[in-house]
Amino acid sequence: MTIPRITDSHCHLDFPDFDEERADVISRAVAAGVHRMVTICTRLRNEPQVRAIAEAHDPVFYAAGTHPMSAADEPLATLDELKALAQHPKFVGIGETGLDYHYSADSAGIQKTSLRVHIEAAQDTGLPLIIHARAADDDMARILSEAWKAQPYDCVMHCFSSSAELARAALDCGFYLSMSGIAAFPKSKDLREIFAAAPLERILVETDSPYLAPPPYRGKRNEPGYTVHTARVGAEAFGLSYDAFAKATEANFERLFAKAAAWTPETA
């Protein structure tokens, strides 16, 4: 029987958690049906290492930006810098960027400045924006919506675990919501209901590995192959078979990350 194919739309394969077995982790993911992964660079000075992982492994694509929790500690990304990175054939998204007031509220000002640079890069390149949002719903909704109304762009709310109000603001702009292992936690019933109320054609799945492993691996190191466990919970939330949910999220990923969908080894 053919295993349904899905994509881990957000992971961190460059993190030291994977240093001893990175190739094996990627192979396990492919064996589980996770035939594509997008590994995310969170500090632009690490971009060469992240790019090298994508170049070395056909199933791996990458994106880069300045994580909001690092915005005060890293040089401000420039529009030209992000647009130059976007020329790489396996560079498929801008970010992750966003706002995090849970841990880093004191840097809210520079976070907003950084976010706007990344939004402009998404607008100019046509690549999707990858958003991290935590404890900043009002500012997040306002900045994303105002920018989208001025010049539309594509976007995914990665590892979405915020309010129904922020979900609605994102969906009103045609953005996507990505399910991580958080959505599979037993106590995340309210979050699953937010996802289930969204259009199926706006849903992605991810691990955010090495963090947030879904059951039955909760509390352990996460890895891209575990996307299937979150996807099974997602299928239940939407009242679908796993196969149907996998096909839907694959179509969604390929619509949003069209550059990844179009890539072949021959185009590299």
Binding residues: 10, 12, 96, 132, 158, 208
Query: Would you tell me how many other CB atoms lie within 10 Å of the CB of residue 199?
Result: 11
Residues 6+ apart with CB under 8 A from 88: 51
The answer to whether 33 and 3 are in contact (CB under 8 A) is yes
Binding site for a divalent metal cation, residues?
A: 10, 12, 96, 132, 158, 208
- Residues 130 and 180: beta-carbon distance below 8 Å: no
Cβ pair 64, 85 in contact under 8 A: yes
For residues 198, 202, 208, 213, the Cα torsion angle rounded to the nearest 10 degrees is 50
Residue 38 phi/psi, 5-degree rounding, is -110, 110
SS3 78: coil
Neighbouring CB atoms inside 10 A of 45's CB total 11
